[in-house]
Structure 1
């Protein structure tokens, strides 16, 4: 597992999400909880611009299938619209905290494993000074 970094705002918001009755028993919660526990936490202004944070738009590739995607990592309430991925989805929790050129092997339902590699963070709220999202 590659090391991951998370902003203190994302950590606080995700921990609240995991404690809520709505999401507590959903699939994917345990994986996300483990990712939060192992993350190095930085203040939002210290987050590097090539880091995948919540509400970031990421271009990544699944090296096991050579399929490239560009998606925005969102909270579950914002998921469902085109080009978004929930942080509770296996791919979403896998991408959170990775930096450009980092990759992670991740279990994906219905398939064996995905080998996800971040190609580019095309939009990151912290880099834009947007800390209220």
Structure 2
């Protein structure tokens, strides 16, 4: 599996979110461990070094569905910003 690339800032904040969810019991422990393992294997870079083709937190992502010709735009946010 390809290593994910994260900014140092996103890595720290995502890690904190997972730990908070584990403590509050709002995440399945096995799923939390999978996420933590993925974070542990991630390539961490400074925010200014993120390649242009990497989706980061607060990015907007456009997804097109070929079977319906519809397009949806999502914003990738931290759990405390979700609606």
Tell me the TM-score normalized by structure 2.
Answer: 0.70
Deviation at 1:61?
5.3
- Distance in 2, matches of 1:53 and 1:11, equals 10
Q: Do the aligned partners of residues 42 and 79 (structure 1) sit closer, same or farther apart at CA in structure 2, a change above 3 Å counting?
A: same
What RMSD, in angstroms, separates the aligned Cα atoms of the two structures? 2.6
> Whose RCO is larger (CA < 8 A, sep 6+)?
2
Structure 1 segment 46-65 matched on structure 2, within 5 A: 46-60=49-63
* Bigger helix share: 2
Which residue matches 2:12? 12
Which residue matches 2:78? 75
- Note if 1:36 corresponds to 2:39: yes
List per-residue Cα deviations over 1:70-107 (Å, max 9, x = no partner): 21111111112xxxxxxxxxxxxxxxxxxxxxxxxxxx
Task: Structure 2 unaligned segments of length 5 or more: list them.
Answer: none
Count of residue pairs brought into register by the alignment: 77
Task: Structure 1 unaligned segments of length 5 or more: list them.
Answer: 81-133
Higher Cα radius of gyration: 2
List per-residue Cα deviations over 1:55-77 (Å, max 9, x = no partner): 111123578xx975321111111
Deviation at 1:29?
2.8
- Distance in 2, matches of 1:62 and 1:29, equals 30
- Note if 1:3 corresponds to 2:3: yes
Tell me the TM-score normalized by structure 1.
Answer: 0.47
- Distance in 2, matches of 1:29 and 1:59, equals 27
